[in-house]
Amino acid sequence: MALTDGIDDPEELKEYRGLQSQIAKILRERCGEPASPKLLGDREADSERLQRGAQLFAQYCVQCHGVNGDGKGILAPYLRPSPRDYTRGVFKFVSTSNGKPRRADLIATIRRGVSGTSMPSFAQLSNDELADLADYVIALSQRGELEQTLARVAYDDGELPAAEDLDGMIAEILTPWQEADGSIVMPLTPMPPMTDESVAEGRELFLKFACSRCHGNDGRGGAIGSVDVGADIWGDKVPAADLTSGMLRGGGRPIDVYRRIYAGIIGTPMPAFATQFQENPDDIWKLVHFVKDTGQRRRRGLPPAANVPAATPPAESNADAQPSSDAPAAPEATAAPDGDAPPEDKAEAEAPPSS
């Protein structure tokens, strides 16, 4: 719809409305209709599963996430943070290094919910229902990416690509999705035992990499310290998370925290730290131990970690879809408390064995 925003000239308006109609036709042909969705580029996809997912989405999700998954449902204006906009193809809590979620990642988020937001747990749904819903979210996301790509081409070129070029465009959109299963972030080393010493060393790393500049010296987060770290790509202000709350939105298992540190949180100012730990990969686990201990202190009746001077300021934050690995920050305090992993994801549910 943005193609015709602000256009007053009748001839130009007619031209862009024609392009809008062409885009709508391509989306119907390639992605189906709401009642009969198709998975982009996959003619073998289970249409019945997608239809069941569409029905579940209409029942439980459309009020917040909108009919086409753009995050503009009827309740969205009243919710902070805003409901996720799937049409960008960007998801925060993934287990991969290329930024695209696996189906198991989406199932985990739907089952668990997102603590501290309006996204509830849907643990009452069966495993099949969760899988159906995740597949439909993937279909909406890929449809949205195609729609936005076509709109950009139409705006820049004044025309849409020929059929053979369209196939190449779709292949480019789908490639990262297809590569997601092969880009799972797995620990570089086994997790050592969590001890007072490893927690203390993790705190030193927390200060060394200036995580405290966003999350606070005691880990209580940017909202407590009025630290402005900027906005995410969806336009929401995102204060660094309160690590002392123990509410880790991206998952509470050690492996979940490890992945947030290693790969960052896509679309937010939280960067990846993979390169910083190449020489000392065990240090990631020490930082994980500090984050876990910080989230448990309140439950044990202990005060937050002692206030100590912070390290050097972080570099400018980056809320692009792939955050820079050079902008120091700290692991996002996200996702629900520790819980069981989805049945199809049990192979990575437990932390790696102690060395």
Residue 353 located in a structural domain: no
Q: Which domain holds residue 344?
A: 196-348
Q: How many Å apart are CA 213 and CA 73, to the nearest integer?
A: 35
DSSP state of 234: T
Q: Do 134 and 207 lie in a common domain?
A: no
What's the half-sphere exposure (Cβ side, CA atoms, 13 Å) at 325?
11
Residue 66 located in a structural domain: yes
Write down the number of H helices and E strands in the chain: 11, 2
Instruction: Provide the residue-wise pLDDT of the chain in tens; the chain has 355 residues.
Output: 888 888 888 988 999 999 999 999 999 999 998 778 999 988 777 789 999 999 999 999 999 999 999 999 999 999 988 999 999 999 999 999 998 999 999 999 999 999 888 999 999 999 999 999 999 999 999 999 999 999 999 999 989 998 889 999 999 999 999 999 999 999 999 999 999 999 999 999 999 988 888 888 878 776 666 677 888 888 888 778 888 888 888 888 999 999 999 999 988 889 899 999 989 999 999 999 999 999 888 778 787 665 444 444 444 444 454 433 333 343 333 333 343 444 444 444 434 434 3
Q: Do 98 and 229 lie in a common domain?
A: no
Residue 263 located in a structural domain: yes
Q: List helix spans (H) across 158-252.
A: 163-179, 196-208, 212-215, 222-225
DSSP state of 81: S
pLDDT at position 90: 93
Q: Do 39 and 141 lie in a common domain?
A: yes
Q: Do 129 and 242 lie in a common domain?
A: no
Cα 213–chain centre separation? 23
> Do residues 76 and 90 make contact, with C-beta atoms less than 8 angstroms apart?
no
Residue 188 located in a structural domain: no
Residue 307 located in a structural domain: yes
Which pTM value belongs to this model? 0.80
The CATH number that applies at residue 321 is 1.10.760.10
